[in-house]
Amino acid sequence: MNDGPLIVQSDKTLLLEVDHERAAEARRAIAPFAELERSPEHIHTYRLTPLGLWNARAAGHDAEQVIDALLAHSRYAVPHSLLVDIAETMDRYGRLRLEKHPIHGLVLISADHAVFTEVTRSKKLAGMLGELLDPDTIAVHPSQRGNLKQALLKLGWPAEDFAGYVDGEAHQIDLVEDGWNLRDYQKQAAESFWHGGSGVVVLPCGAGKTIVGAAAMAHAKATTLILVTNTVSARQWKHELLKRTSLTEDEIGEYSGARKEIRPVTIATYQVLTHKRNGVHPHLELLDARDWGLIVYDEVHLLPAPVFRMSADLQARRRIGLTATLIREDGREGDVFSLIGPKRYDAPWKDIEAQGWIAPADCVEVRVTLPDGERLAYATAEPEERYRLASCTFSKSRVAEQLVRQHQGEPTLVIGQYLDQLDELGEHLGAPVIKGETSVKEREELFNAFREGEIDLLVVSKVANFSIDLPEAAVAIQVSGSFGSRQEEAQRLGRLLRPKADGKTARFYTIVARDTVDADFAQNRQRFLAEQGYAYRIVDSDDLPIKD
């Protein structure tokens, strides 16, 4: 036994004692291969998963390095069975290789004949493989490159892709660091992606993911297709690229419901790409409209299924995914790994906060009790109606109004899921409401007025969850959400994390109806806060106003 900060357990969990003098060193050592699950005050829990270990292999870490890190920092003897499992799991990555072939274009190769035989006989690969060229080499149709990688990952034999990338149509793009500089972590993130050729960069909201995208574009110096969540986000990307790079207005096109411009750098919305007409996606032809050298996926954790399917056909293009969290509520993290690429860079939220690049946050859950009449209506309602009833209780509206008064004069967002509730709050608070039916022009005008300090209160639906740059927002009051979505919690907290000019702490309130499914879902959402190291307080609505 030594005095290490880590306890390594046979169930593949790693417990890190936060207050230990070597905790930071141990965290850095395990971060490339262990997935953080929970990070409350004193003990942080990490888990070893096949995907995490394969991510590490893809980033150049071998089993020996992983095992050495565990042995060096573990307080107790590391279970031998776990060490064997790590070595064998990591050894699975790269036993199969995709390579270019001078005659057949693309081939699957293995130095392990038994593994090669196992996968090539699998019915799950039917139609993806062609002619057997020798006992350990089989032809692959280039159009099946992505589908094959996806299928092999699910079989537990992730292929290492050495087939390379086309350069695409060259286009000069340079960063213009005029009055600003690329932060060290942004530079490392862009370089990690470039050395790998494709993959995902995970950074907190407010940490400058768009700038990492711009830096990747400057590496590629090629025509670029940028895929974003909505039109407001598309225009923010354009604004940032004009400000940070050598690109001009004429070189950047918007491909959305409102405009259909194809330029050397084209910013398209997921919505327009996934729009269906007569059973087909007419705008997917955008992918073939130019010889793109780089595809950028903003908010990669939100990729809709049709974009996954089209990404299977884009394996010859360099691809970078940008996100604040790789949590997908549909469990398709493996598809991100196989189709966009492995995780190339990940910076913990608290580390970026410690460097002063994002604001500290105080997270508070305010619990309300349903009045007797509403409680009875809830008890007799159908299960699918209960969350709406709990979320839209008048008790929540009263507390939201109370919190707005408490923070009067501070830039505040009231966020919710149900439009009737938001309209009512907007009316009571005398605040504009932004929702799906709000025109893009009106959204932009209201967001700009908020940024400029002309208004300090907005009521917003989930349309404001993603890619909306509101650096001055200091308070968020969440009245309802998408059930238990940790992904949404990440985005909503992220609205507040731009550093404040006065150095103030951001305030993130969630109003929860006790003794209902709302409270159950809130526990799941809070897992995200705990995973990122944010403590949260629970107070009763009767104890408001909350004193610091």
- More confident: 38 or 457: 457
Decide: helix, strand or coil at residue 10. Answer: coil
The token pair at 251 is: 């070189």
Q: How many residues does the chain have?
A: 548
- Mean of the pLDDT values across residues 120-133? 92
Look up the pTM and report it: 0.80
Provide the CA 58 distance to its chain's centre, in angstroms. 19
Burial letters 160-197, b for 16+ CB under 10 A, else e: bbebebeebeebebebeeeeeebbebbebbbebbbebe
**3-class SS letters over 384-400:** HHHHHHHHCCHHHHHHH
Pairing of strands 224-228, 294-298: parallel
- More confident: 181 or 304: 181
Q: What is the pLDDT of residues 9-47, one digit of tens each?
A: 999 999 999 899 999 899 889 988 998 777 777 888 899
Average pLDDT of the chain to the nearest whole number: 88
Which CA distances in Å does 64 have to 9, 84, 275?
Answer: 18, 11, 48
Q: Angle, nearest 10°, between helix axes 80-92 and 50-58? A: 60
**Residue 404 pLDDT exceeds 90:** yes
- Mean of the pLDDT values across residues 129-158? 93
Which CA distances in Å does 139 have to 108, 126, 197?
Answer: 6, 13, 23
Provide the CA 405 distance to its chain's centre, in angstroms. 33
The model's confidence at residue 331, banded by pLDDT at 50, 70 and 90, is confident
Decide: helix, strand or coil at residue 97. Answer: strand
Q: Note the pLDDT of residue 547.
A: 45
Q: Note the pLDDT of residue 240.
A: 93
The model's confidence at residue 420, banded by pLDDT at 50, 70 and 90, is very high
Question: DSSP class of residue 276?
Answer: -
The model's confidence at residue 486, banded by pLDDT at 50, 70 and 90, is low
Q: Note the pLDDT of residue 492.
A: 73
Q: Which strands, in side-by-side order, build the sheet including 198-202?
A: 252-255, 265-269, 224-228, 294-298, 318-323, 198-202, 343-346
Spatial contact of 75 and 7, defined as CB atoms under 8 Å apart: yes
Tell whether omega for the bond before 79 is within 30 degrees of 0, i.e. cis. Answer: no
Q: What is the pLDDT of residues 264-307, one digit of tens each?
A: 999 998 888 887 787 777 777 777 778 999 999 998 877 877 78
